[in-house]
Amino acid sequence: DRIARRQDREFAEFRKRLKDTEQFKLDDGAFDDATYAAVYKLVQDEHVGAMGGPISTGKEANVYEAHDAEGGDVAVKVYRINASNFKQMREYLEGDPRFEGIRGDKKAVVLSWTRKEFSNLQRAAAAGVRVPHPIAVQRNVLVMELIGQEGDAAPTLSDVNVENPETAYEVVREYVRRLYAAGLVHGDLSEYNIVVYDGELVVIDVGQAVTIHHPNSDDLLRRDCRNVANFFARQGADADPDELYDYVTSN
Ligand code: ADP
Ligand code: MN
């Protein structure tokens, strides 16, 4: 009918506008038609006003700066439907009661993965871990708080001089403990997935985080503890992987 036709036309115009934006020409691969439709829906729902340039282009996802409808800053993470490593991604959904019985194909896995990151952000925040505030999820597109400022996204812990490694280590220790107490293991925790902004440490990239029901959750936790403790030990803190693991898992 007429309304549907008008909506189709508006969507086509929106897609053309996005496609014509300089930064999207570079990585059109991440944006199939359904991804444009997802961004369009987020625009209609006023979670996104305008898309900006990429902050990061990764293997599984690209992260962009954007504005919401009021012109506030947000970060938009777009997962590739054609992720080359979707088989590994599928393994991270195993045993997770939230994603029981999902179809095993590429698309279903990537869509679940996106929802998993959104719900992990919610759960981490509720557990008192500083993460980007989750705003909306649509298909393979996640909208969250931008850590840092427009044109100046916060650096990762690997890119800054850690002025007080003992204090920073204490904070991260507490984050890992709280996550675990909330039933989550980050699974890719390191100096590359912690950003530093305004005196705060912010944990990011929680898409792969698994619940403690996952068959490998214990190995993943040990690896997280190793990455974190070894990093802070290199910075001069008194940090040990086994001690961290014991601290996180006791009580
Ligand atoms: P990947 O799976 O590609 O590692 P990440 O979630 O770690 O995805 O994001 C990639 C990079 O994008 C991060 O290292 C960080 O620099 C930036 N980034 C991600 N989320 C945000 C955010 N909410 N605010 C600011 N920068 C972010
Ligand atoms: Mn990352």
Residues forming a β-bridge with 149: 152
Give the CATH architecture of domain 155-249: Orthogonal Bundle (1.10)
Provide CATH code, domain 2-152.
3.30.200.20
Quick one: which of 184, 79, 83 has its CA closest to 128?
184
The CA 1 to ligand 1 mean position distance, Å, reads 42
**Ligand 1 pocket test: which of 47, 48, 55 has the largest number of ligand atoms within 8 Å of its C-beta?**
55
Closest ligand 1 atom to Cα of 192: 14
The CA 213 to ligand 2 mean position distance, Å, reads 23
Annotation says 27 is catalytic: no
Annotation says 205 is catalytic: yes
* Parts of the chain belonging to CATH 3.30.200.20: 2-152
pLDDT digits over 120-146, tens only? 999 999 999 999 999 999 999 999 999
pTM: 0.94
- Over residues 14-27, the mean pLDDT reads 68
Q: Say if residue 200's pLDDT is above 80.
A: yes
The CA 1 to ligand 2 mean position distance, Å, reads 44
Q: 9-23, 64-78, 158-172: which range is least confident on average?
A: 9-23
- Over residues 211-237, the mean pLDDT reads 97
Q: Say if residue 49's pLDDT is above 70.
A: yes
Write 243-248 long-range contacts (CB < 8 A, 24+): 244/173, 244/176, 245/221, 247/173, 247/177, 248/173, 248/176, 248/177, 248/180, 248/221
CB distance 196 to ligand 1 below 6 Å: no
Q: 16-20, 44-48, 50-54, 86-90: which range is least confident on average?
A: 16-20
CB distance 224 to ligand 1 below 6 Å: no
- Over residues 156-173, the mean pLDDT reads 97
- What gap in Å lies between CA 191 and CA 83, rounded to an integer? 24
CB-based contact 163:92 (threshold 8 Å): no
Closest ligand 1 atom to Cα of 62: 3
| Residues having C-beta closer than 5 Å to ion ligand 2 | 193, 205
Q: Say if residue 225's pLDDT is above 90.
A: yes
Q: What is the pLDDT of residue 106?
A: 87
Return the residue whose CA atom lies nearest to atom 12 of ligand 1: 56
pLDDT band with cut points at 50, 70 and 90 for residue 27: low
The CA 156 to ligand 2 mean position distance, Å, reads 9
ipTM of the complex: 0.99
Q: What is the pLDDT of residue 242?
A: 98
Q: What is the pLDDT of residue 23?
A: 59
- Over residues 152-171, the mean pLDDT reads 96
**Ligand 1 pocket test: which of 60, 63, 131 has the largest number of ligand atoms within 8 Å of its C-beta?**
63
- Over residues 235-250, the mean pLDDT reads 98
Q: Say if residue 29's pLDDT is above 70.
A: no
- Over residues 41-47, the mean pLDDT reads 95
**Tokens standing for 168?**
């920073």
* Parts of the chain belonging to CATH 1.10.510.10: 155-249
